[in-house]
Amino acid sequence: MGNYMAFAIAVGVTGSLFADGNSATTSASAGVRIVAPVKITAIQHLNFGSIVVDDIKKSSSITMAFNGFAPGVVGNLSGNLATTELRALGNCTLYRKSPAHTPALFHLQKDAWVASTSNFGGSGIFDTDVTVVIDGSVTLSGGTGGPVSLTVATDLPSDPFTPAGASPGLVYRRFQLAGTLYIPPESLGTKTGTINVSVSYN
């Protein structure tokens, strides 16, 4: 009888050791934040229309300027785009049958959470959450004579707007490009070139 009781006690101790030290459980939460890609789309292209020069033997220039505020300075943040006008700088004017001039127009979309983490109270209105890189000068070639030089101007910082079919979780902005054309002597015909624009998250 004494031997049986001793065996029972030993078994009980062994069972307790397995329960306390040889296994354990816990849990961890799992999560992820999905960030929308930053995208930019050209909606309208830059077109100065048709320019008539006063003398093909002389150089000439004309600028497409933004009205209302200077490029690169905080201007109209109501969502309305700045208007533009052509201003002849010398030896040229707008051809009387010219189509209307148009600034280049770009739509930018980005993640609303990324925009909310930017400076200035989380408003994101100064584009501190993205970097916009724009060609400063472009060569326009074609037609006859030498190429035309374009110095690019912009109405950044971008303006907020809400497009049709806007997606929740996204912020939409838009901005324009204009600039100044420098036309060398005896340069005639249609001149074209490309302005490269890129955006990236900071």
Q: Would you kindly state where each structural domain of the chain is located, as residue ranges?
A: 36-201
Distance (Å, whole) CA 36 – CA 71 = 29
pTM equals: 0.79
Q: Is the pLDDT assigned to residue 63 strictly greater than 80?
A: yes
Q: How confident is the model at residue 79 (pLDDT cuts 50, 70, 90)?
A: low
- Predicted confidence (pLDDT) per residue in 124-156, tens digit: 344 678 889 999 999 999 999 999 999 999 988
Do 55 and 85 form a contact (C-beta atoms < 8 A)? no
Q: For residues 71 and 154, is the Cβ–Cβ distance under 8 A?
A: yes
pLDDT for the residue 73? 38
From CA 54, how far away is CA 91, in angstroms rounded?
Answer: 5
